[in-house]
Structure 1
Amino acid sequence: MERNEIKSLENSRKLSVRYFNTLKPVTDKTDMYTAEIRVLNYCELAYVISNMLKLCILALDQEAPEISETIKNPAINAASVLEIVAQLLPLDEIELLDEMHQIFSTDSQDLNKLTTEKV
């Protein structure tokens, strides 16, 4: 392996340690990961799950103008659902993609220069 390839590999490993934070490996299973959401307590967790379910019910039953009266507190707080979605966005990993894109773009440009010079 060339010196530049080794350096690139080492840099990639450093970047992956720094940025791969959203998914945590499940200790008792291979190829399985968890993504964490943060809530204050069980009540907030239940509230968020309830809002997600209500939103899904409305999405599936498009003819229903509102949630069934059998569901206690039929109002939907879409903001709480969106907060969970925002927590699950892998922002650190997206930063890694930008860093790696810059590295590989530079490597690609260097390779193109070398190829052009040889011709």
Structure 2
Amino acid sequence: MEEKEHKVVTEFLEIMNKINFFTRLKPENRIDNSFSVTLKVSSYNELQLMISDLLKASIMVLQDNSTNINAMTLVEIAFQLLPQDEMGLLDDLHKIHLKA
């Protein structure tokens, strides 16, 4: 019986190695076993609209106590999507604009 189970596991692993499964999550940090996921957008404007929609959906979920949607998950996704480095650039550009 144990030999049969070993054979099944071996076949499964061979199939997994032949076919490119599990490609969506990319290892990010081996210490805490975190992963990253690529999200394609066409522009910063589209990214901003996505973040805005996530935050609006979070507000709606928080206002409606009957839903099983976790608003915290939506807010976390929105937070991770914020282009923080670019916001610093906008601050620098705004300072230059104020001096002009």
TM range (shorter): 0.3 to 0.5
Query: TM-score when scaled to structure 1?
Result: 0.40
